[in-house]
C-alpha cells in the first residue's frame, strides 16, 4: 500500500498543479541565473524495451480494432459456465476459450486479447497453443497480472489490488511465453466515498505495476475502474473520475512510466447503475471526452474503455458517440461481457453450436469495430443484446 514515506517528490512536476489540471506555472523573475544541475536530477528514463513498447501499444490501438478481454479467473469463468449448465472443469474452460480465439476473421476487429494465466499456457482442443492461434490472426496476446482485490485496512469498506510481490519475475516469464501487454484492475467505489486513502492506493499501485511491467517488456493497461454501483448521477461520477485520473497520472509520472508505451482502460462517465436519471450516448460521450481532455496526455496512444456491466448495445452506442467527435486519442474498447454474453448463451456448451456462437462473437466485434470508427448505427440488434449486465460488487 502507498505510504507517504515511500513517495519521492518529483523534480519536474508539482502535484497540486497537476491535480488541478492546470498548466505548470513558472515563477515570474526579472533575472535568469543558470546553475549547474546534477545529472541525476533530470535523468530521462529510457528502458531496454521502450521502442518495442511503443510499437506494441500502437498495434493494439490500431484503427477499427479493440481488445477482447477473456481474462476471467477460473472461479469467474466457472460462474459463466454454470449459467449455461456446464461444470467448471479445465476441459470446459479450454473448449470455451478455443471457441473464442479460433473464430474466423476475429483479427479484423480485435487487436489484442487479455488472457488469464491458465490460458496463456493453454492449448486449444486441437492441440495448438492459444498464443500461436492469436498471433496467426494478428492479435497481440496479453495477460492479467494482478492478484485480485482485498479489503483495504483503515478505509470505508474499500479495497486495494494485490500482486506487486513477484510481479517482475512473473512479467518476465509471461513475456517469454509470448505476452506483449498486461492488465491490472483496481476499483474505486463511489457509494463508499471514495476515501483519499483508497484513491491514493489505487493510483500508486497502478503506477508501480506499470513501471515494473515496462521494465519487463509488457505494455501495461492501466485500469482504474470506477464501479457503476450506486444511485449517484453523472456529475458525481465525473467529479470522482477527475480526482482518480489526476492521481493516477501524477504517480505514473513519479514512477517514470513512458506514457507512449501504456494503454488506459477506464470506465465511461455514466450515472450509477441505480440512478433513475439515465444518460444518452451523447451525454456519456460529452462527459467522458471532457474528462479525457482535462486529464489524459495526448501521448497515451489508446483509450480502451471497459463496459462495466452496460448492455452489449449500450456499450457500443456510447463508444460510437465518442468517436463522432474529434479527439487526439484512439478511443476504443476492451470488453469482456459486452463481447461474450450472447456468444456464450448461443454456444450453451454444445459442439454443434460452436459456429453459431462464433458468428455471435464476430457480430459484436464488428459492431464495436464500426463504433471505433464512428460508423455504428445500431440497426438489427437483438433484444438480448440490449439487456443490461450490471452485477453489484462485480469481481473477476
Q: Which residues are catalytic?
A: 223, 265
Q: Is 162 exposed, middle or buried (0-12, 13-18, 19+ CB in 10 A)?
A: middle
Q: Is 161 exposed, middle or buried (0-12, 13-18, 19+ CB in 10 A)?
A: buried
Q: Which has the closest alpha carbon to 97: 137, 61, 60, 69? A: 69
Contact 66, 114 (CB under 8 A): no
| b/e map 341-379, b = 16+ CB within 10 Å | bbbbebbeeeeeebeebbebbbbbbbbbbbbbeeebeee
CA triple 390-188-269, angle to 5 deg: 60
Gap between the Cα atoms of 145 and 175, Å rounded: 12
Under DSSP, the state recorded for 117 is H
Grid cell listed for 186: 483496481
State how far Cα 61 lies from the chain centre: 12
Residue pair 288/271 in contact (Cβ under 8 Å)? The answer is no
- Integer Cα distance of 280 and 118 in angstroms: 39
Q: How far apart are CA 339 and CA 363, in angstroms?
A: 9
Question: E-assigned strands of the chain?
Answer: 66-70, 110-115, 140-144, 149-151, 159-161, 181-188, 219-226, 263-264, 302-305, 330-335
Grid coordinates of 119: 490460458
- Which triple of cell numbers denotes residue 271? 450515472
- How many angstroms separate the Cα of 91 from the Cα of each of 96, 97, 118, 123, 343? 9, 10, 12, 11, 18
Amino acid at each position: 500500500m502507498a505510504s507517504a514515506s515511500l513517495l519521492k517528490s518529483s523534480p519536474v512536476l508539482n502535484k497540486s498543479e497537476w491535480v488541478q489540471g492546470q498548466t505548470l506555472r513558472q515563477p515570474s523573475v526579472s533575472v535568469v541565473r543558470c546553475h549547474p544541475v546534477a545529472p541525476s536530477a533530470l535523468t530521462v528514463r529510457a528502458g531496454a524495451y521502450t521502442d518495442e513498447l511503443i510499437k506494441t501499444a500502437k498495434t493494439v490501438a490500431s484503427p477499427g480494432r479493440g481488445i477482447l478481454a477473456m481474462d476471467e479467473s477460473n472461479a469467474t469463468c466457472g460462474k459463466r459456465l454454470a449459467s449455461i449448465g456446464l461444470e467448471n472443469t479445465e476441459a470446459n474452460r479450454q473448449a470455451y476459450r478455443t471457441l473464442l480465439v479460433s473464430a474466423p476473421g476475429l483479427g479484423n476487429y480485435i487487436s489484442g486479447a487479455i488472457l488469464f494465466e491458465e490460458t496463456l499456457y493453454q492449448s486449444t482442443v486441437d492441440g495448438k497453443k492459444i498464443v500461436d492461434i492469436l498471433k496467426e490472426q494478428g492479435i497481440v496476446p496479453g495477460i492479467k497480472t494482478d492478484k485480485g482485490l482485498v479489503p483495504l485496512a483503515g478505509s470505508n469498506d474499500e479495497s486495494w489490488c494485490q500482486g506487486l510481490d513477484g510481479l517482475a519475475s512473473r512479467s518476465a516469464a509471461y513475456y517469454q511465453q509470448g505476452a506483449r501487454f498486461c492488465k491490472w484492475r483496481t476499483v474505486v467505489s463511489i457509494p463508499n466515498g471514495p476515501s483519499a486513502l483508497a484513491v491514493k492506493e489505487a493510483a500508486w499501485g497502478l503506477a508501480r505495476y506499470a513501471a515494473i511491467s515496462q521494465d519487463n517488456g509488457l505494455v501495461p493497461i492501466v485500469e482504474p475502474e470506477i464501479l457503476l454501483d450506486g444511485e449517484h448521477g453523472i456529475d458525481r461520477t465525473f467529479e470522482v473520475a477527475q480526482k482518480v485520473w489526476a492521481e493516477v497520472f501524477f504517480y505514473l509520472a513519479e514512477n517514470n512510466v513512458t506514457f507512449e508505451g501504456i494503454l488506459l482502460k477506464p470506465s465511461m462517465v455514466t450515472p450509477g447503475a441505480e440512478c433513475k436519471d439515465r444518460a444518452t450516448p451523447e451525454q456519456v460521450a460529452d462527459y467522458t471526452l471532457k474528462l479525457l481532455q482535462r486529464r489524459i496526455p495526448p501521448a497515451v496512444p489508446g483509450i480502451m474503455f471497459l463496459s462495466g456491466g452496460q448492455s452489449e448495445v449500450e456499450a457500443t452506442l456510447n463508444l460510437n458517440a465518442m468517436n463522432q467527435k474529434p479527439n487526439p486519442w484512439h478511443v476504443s474498447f476492451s470488453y469482456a461481457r459486452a463481447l461474450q454474453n450472447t456468444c456464450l448463451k448461443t454456444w450453451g456448451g454444445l459442439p454443434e453450436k460452436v459456429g453459431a456462437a462464433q458468428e455471435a462473437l464476430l457480430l459484436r466485434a464488428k459492431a464495436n469495430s464500426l463504433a471505433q470508427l464512428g460508423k455504428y448505427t445500431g440497426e438489427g440488434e437483438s433484444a438480448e443484446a440490449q439487456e443490461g449486465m450490471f452485477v453489484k460488487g462485480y469481481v473477476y
